[in-house]
Structure 1
């Protein structure tokens, strides 16, 4: 399944219009991460595994300045570094991000 958030396509399994998916669907599960391997946004690593049949590759540290996180509320594109330093809140609209996502950073980022 895919949805458009402003001008970005986001892929996921049973997702809503703010990037919540079947795997992560709490009120603060509102980001999508651009996977390094395919340069496409996915709601979560599990959606990527289900739809691509492979784990996402991790972004190298030297590319943390690139935009690879999308806020599902306001569609702001965040550089990885800004996302990691955001304090679990969108710097553009103030929407809360799930602090539990930090346990998955190593799946997306070096």
Structure 2
């Protein structure tokens, strides 16, 4: 899986978010590319980001950077870590999930 943006390691951490728990990438609806964060998308693309709609919550749009498991949006929003490898996810990411997913 290709992760675009300013990554700093092979677990999807980026120059903007690089803590041990920052191990997801989000597939942006607008370009269908995985980026570690909204800032990486903003810096790399010439188009504005669009949100996944509520009707699209079963789309696989979140990538675990540790084991490369793809999660559905609903699946990601329901867990604190990867259901496959148990890597913990940054709980603070939920504070800005509306940048990626409609509420």
TM-score, length basis structure 2: 0.95
Distance in 1, matches of 2:67 and 2:7, equals 20
- 2:83 maps to which residue? 91
Structure-1 residue corresponding to 2:37:
44
Whether the 8 Å contact between 1:13 and 1:22 is mirrored in structure 2 is yes
Picking from 45, 62, 70, the partner of 2:63 is 70
- Structure 2: where are the runs of 5+ without partners? none
Larger strand share, 1 or 2 = 1
- Alpha-carbon contact 1:48-1:54 (below 8 Å) kept: no
> Structure 1: which 4+ aligned runs deviate by more than 2 Å?
none
The answer to whether the Cα contact below 8 Å between 1:33 and 1:44 also exists between their aligned partners in 2 is yes
Whole-Å Cα distance in 2 between the matches of residues 26 and 55 of structure 1? 26
Q: What is the number of residues matched between the two proteins?
A: 102
